[in-house]
Homo-oligomer: A and B are copies of this chain.
Amino acid sequence: MAATGREFFTVKTVSEALSGFRPAHVTPVETVALDGVCGRVPAGDLRAREALPGFDRSSVDGYAVRAADTYGASESIPGYLRLVGAVQMGTAAMEEVASGAAVAIPTGGMLPAGADAVVMIEHTAEATADAIEVTRPVAPGENVVRFDEDVAAGAAIASRGRPLRAQDVALLAAAGVVDVAVHKRPRVTILATGDEVVPPNTAGLSPGQVRDALSVSVGALVLEAGGEPSPPRIVPDEDGALREALATRIGVSDVVVICAGSSVGMRDQTAGAVAALPNSETWCHGLAIKPGKPTLLAQSNGVPIIGLPGNPRSALVVFRLIGMPVVRRVGGWTVEPLVGTIHAKLARDLPSAAGRLDVVQVRLDLDEDLAEPLFGSSALLSVLTRADGYVIVPEDANGLSAGEPVEVFPYG
């Protein structure tokens, strides 16, 4: 344990890290078929080549009419219209709707020539085999989706940098955009460091050994952020091993995560290994966050390197707050995800030091709208697994009091 390891030299706040740590690397572009694009990030704006809908359509089941023919119709004095045909789905209407005529039309059917509105079937009755009663008037355009009302030809239907949602995929399908240029998923190398760390499938542990809890769980968060985690790699503490692993992986990775590479014991090794990379820069070594202070943020040739604390709980907290946004940006996101919270009242006081962001795990009592803070060493994973979500005590707060309203970020 070197004496130089006693201080954190370049501590930054979480908001400084989120706004200021911006390595330039972004993944290249690939073309993906429509059934795989939900959640993917378009590399450019996506446009409809043609108008949607491509013809005037009925938005209800009913009868295509001339609106003027229905004026004055009511339950007590219905209007009568001649039934001259029925629209078949998927084809142009055969009949024209002349004055006093009606054509049966299903939802989505193409409006026949002459008609300018559709009377809902609920506001009609069959009078005879070839006539209907209309019990409510319609205005011109009523129950009709006009040509190009949904999307004009050439209009943008999805924006670059914003991940596609189910409804975006629907609109792309409707517009016939079936191959989409999106950013590749970031390849994220996860290096677990430490002579004590053994693979999770190790049956019997020797004294002092622990199983690698982080590679697979950080990998799960990488997947959630749209990245692809590499297979786990455990790097021994011996001199040069981390340096070699980093040198090998940096060129084939879009993000590199070093688990436990930032504790006092590993700090000089990690700093040295990062400094040995081409065009490297250490952006911060130490974050004003609890838990998670021993976090390193660096880059090499614009590829982000994230050194996580040694405690699994701290590491997962930091990766969720700092690492996932980094993975998203490398994957082409230019917006922040919209994150909902659950509003609750704090069940007890939360002490906190100003100048530091605290991430407090809580259990929710939804019946009482209470958030119950869970305490315990940052080495305890069980505090995280018992939690329903977390509360953030911001940098400028001196703790929060019992009964105060808080926003809980749910784990889902």
| A207–chain B nearest beta-carbon distance, Å | 4
Whether B220 contacts A38 by the Cβ 8 Å rule is yes
Q: Is the Cβ of A61 less than 8 Å from the Cβ of B264?
A: yes
A207 touches which one: B91, B337, B385 (CB < 8 A)? B91
| B145 and A338 contacting across the interface, CB-CB below 8 Å | no
A149 contacts B380, CB within 8 Å? yes
Contact stretch, chosen from A104-112, A275-283, A394-402: A104-112
Known: A168-B385, A173-B217, A412-B338. A208 touches B380 (CB 8 A): no
In the complex formed, the residue of B with least CB distance to A122 is: B6
Given A107-B310, A176-B203: A166 and B224 interface contact (C-beta under 8 Å):
yes
- Is the beta-carbon distance between B337 and A340 smaller than 8 angstroms? no
**CB distance A174 to B312 under 8 Å?**
yes
Give a binary string over A89-106; 1 marks a CB under 8 Å from any B CB, 0 the rest.
111110000000000101
Complex Cα spacing A264 to B202, Å? 61
A167 is an interface residue with CB less than 8 A from chain B = yes
Q: Give the Cβ gap from A175 to chain B, nearest Cβ, in Å.
A: 8
A171 / chain B contacts, CB cutoff of 8 Å = 213, 381-382, 384-385
- Residues 120-151 of chain A: 1 if any B CB is under 8 Å from the residue's CB, otherwise 0? 01100010000000000000000001000111
Q: Chain B residues near A121 (CB, 8 Å)?
A: 1, 5-6, 264
Residue on B nearest A6 in the bound complex, by CB = B121
| A268 beta carbon closer than 8 Å to chain B | no
Residues of B within 8 A of A385 (CB): 157-158, 165, 167-168, 171
Bound-state CA distance A170–B207 (Å) is 20
Is B338's CB under 8 angstroms from A59's CB? no
Cβ of A384: which chain B residues have Cβ within 8 Å of it? Answer: 167, 170-171
Q: B residues within 8 A CB of A68?
A: none
Contact bitstring A327-353, B, C-beta under 8 A = 1, else 0: 000000000011111110000000000
6 A-B pairs closest in CB distance? A340-B340, A90-B196, A170-B217, A38-B220, A61-B264, A338-B410
